[in-house]
């Protein structure tokens, strides 16, 4: 294929910019219709290329990491700190990721399944038959407490109560404008003032937590404990500010996002009783309902969770800024261009996912998707490092909800951007019908359907 220069970027006016940040799925559909799989756009003072095909994503992911810089680097530095994996590049990014990876590897969480289940049950006990509630209220509380226990290592007492308030404050204060328009990170801008106060509270709380841990020797069986004993290549430990920046990165990347996945799963299951019945049949007939380490391996449960983040991607895009030219889909993309892979567009590609707007978990059992076709956590060297914890928590918590309660979706909801990530606009209104008594075995008809799906 001959390589040609990319057409000049098309300037985006205020409406187009508003639409992308607030209704990314609508914006992407418009871009696909106008440009096809590669859209050269100019907004927020920079040239962007939107990549809206799996082949384009594959080519970007295959690029040399040294040829990429972080996306929205200035904005994320102000929000998460200069030591955050979101903003580090090159050798510094690779070293930090290698240092950080063992603390968030899937194997690190396998022994904590009972803890996740206990936290889920604590908040599910608050459900009352006949009541309508917002699923996000429950899932946010579960996700926050899982982070408190498995990441910060805080389980009870005043430090736990204070931490809950501070983490909630920080989540509520994060506004997309202060990330995407870093010039607004100024004291005169009220959203930045609120976030700055919340971040200062978080910094003080984490500082006291780190000091208390160091006083007893540092290492414990949680992410913070792993970071306290981690060492750089020269043998030096991580500094307190480095640990703080990585902890705030985990919090911002894994709290509301995981809660949104759980809420959307309840939304789709509550609308489709047949899929809910299949999932219950698997959980009840598998014989592993009391073993979280085995629950997370169940195929239909995994398919339900995958289809949820396929249909409702929590990140609408993943992006890099080119430091060297890149050949992409037959074009030469110049250095300095932001390359934005549209997860939303790829996850709704009808050639990859027939009937893309339909919730159909079976598609993830019928075939395997590549890392450029299914990319809920981004990809390549900047794939979300907390993906394992998010998936682990989602599967265990969803199993508890499905086994323990009958429920239905109470209203239509839709995807909108909350902060950096997407989530349900109305929090997923749900009607709680009754507490369930799990059956000893699944209904034979439903079990037969499952066996057909797995065949």
pLDDT (tens digit per residue) in 22-67: 788 888 999 999 999 999 998 878 899 999 999 999 999 999 999 9
- Cα–Cα distance, 350 to 370 (Å, whole number): 16
Q: What fold characterizes domain 4-454?
A: Cytochrome p450 (1.10.630)
Q: What is the mean pLDDT of residues 321-339?
A: 94
Predicted confidence at residue 3, as pLDDT, reads 62
| pLDDT of 455 | 38
pLDDT in tens, 287-307: 888 889 899 999 999 999 999
Among 275, 270, 274, 203, residue whose Cα is nearest residue 243: 203
What is the rounded CA–CA span in Å between residue 255 and residue 250?
8
Q: Is the pLDDT of residue 322 over 60?
A: yes
Average pLDDT rounded to a whole number, residues 225-231? 87
pTM for this model (two decimals): 0.92
Average pLDDT of the residues in 159-169 = 92
Question: Which of 317, 315, 316 is closest to 339 using CA atoms?
Answer: 317
Residue matched to tokens 């994503």: 57
| pLDDT the model gives residue 98 | 84
Query: Which residues in 63-124 belong to E strands, given as ranges?
Result: 68-69
Whole-number pLDDT of residue 58: 97
Which pLDDT band holds residue 68 (cuts at 50, 70, 90)? very high
Q: Is the pLDDT of residue 102 over 80?
A: no
Distance CA 399, CA 294 (A): 11
**Does pLDDT of 263 surpass 60?**
yes
206 burial (CB, 10 Å; 0-12 / 13-18 / 19+) is buried
């Amino acid at each position: 294929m001959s390589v040609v220069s990319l057409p000049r970027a098309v300037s985006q006016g205020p409406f187009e910019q508003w639409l992308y940040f607030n209704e990314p799925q609508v914006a992407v559909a418009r871009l696909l219709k106008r440009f096809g799989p590669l859209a050269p756009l100019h907004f927020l003072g920079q040239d962007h290329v939107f990549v809206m095909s799996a082949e384009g994503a594959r080519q970007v992911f295959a690029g040399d990491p040294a040829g990429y810089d972080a996306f929205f680097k200035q904005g994320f530095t102000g929000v998460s700190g200069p030591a955050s994996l979101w903003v580090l590049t090159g050798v510094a990014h690779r070293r930090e990721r290698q240092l950080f990876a063992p603390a968030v590897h899937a194997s690190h969480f396998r022994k904590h399944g009972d803890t996740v289940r206990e936290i889920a049950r604590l908040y599910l006990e608050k459900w009352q038959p006949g009541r309508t509630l917002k699923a996000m209220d429950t899932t946010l509380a579960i996700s926050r407490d899982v982070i408190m226990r498995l990441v910060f290592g805080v389980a009870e007492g005043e430090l736990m109560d204070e931490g809950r308030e501070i983490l909630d404050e920080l989540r509520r204060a994060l506004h997309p404008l202060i990330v995407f328009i870093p010039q607004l990170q100024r004291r005169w801008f009220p959203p930045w003032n609120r976030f700055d106060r919340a971040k200062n509270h978080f910094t003080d709380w984490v500082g006291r937590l780190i000091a208390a841990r160091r006083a007893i020797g540092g290492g414990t069986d949680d992410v913070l404990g792993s970071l306290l004993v981690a060492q750089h290549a020269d043998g030096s430990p991580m500094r307190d500010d480095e640990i703080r920046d990585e902890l705030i990165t985990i919090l911002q990347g894994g709290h509301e996002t995981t809660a949104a996945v759980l809420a959307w799963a309840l939304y789709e299951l509550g609308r489709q009783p047949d899929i809910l019945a299949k999932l219950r049949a698997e959980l009840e007939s598998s014989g592993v309902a009391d073993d979280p380490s085995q629950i997370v391996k169940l195929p239909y449960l995994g398919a339900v969770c995958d289809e949820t983040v396929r249909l409702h991607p929590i990140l609408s895009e993943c992006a890099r800024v080119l430091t060297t030219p890149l050949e992409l889909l037959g074009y030469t993309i110049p250095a300095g261009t932001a390359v934005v892979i549209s997860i939303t567009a790829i996850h709704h590609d009808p050639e990859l996912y027939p009937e893309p707007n339909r919730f159909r978990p079976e598609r993830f059992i019928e075939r395997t998707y590549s890392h450029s076709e299914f990319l809920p956590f981004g990809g390549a060297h900047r794939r979300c490092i907390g993906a394992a914890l998010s998936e682990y928590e989602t599967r265990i918590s969803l199993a508890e909800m499905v086994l323990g309660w009958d429920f239905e979706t109470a209203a239509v909801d839709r995807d909108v951007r909350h902060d950096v990530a997407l989530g349900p606009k109305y929090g997923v209104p749900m009607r709680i019908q009754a507490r369930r008594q799990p059956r000893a075995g699944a209904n034979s008809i439903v079990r037969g359907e499952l066996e057909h799906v797995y065949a």
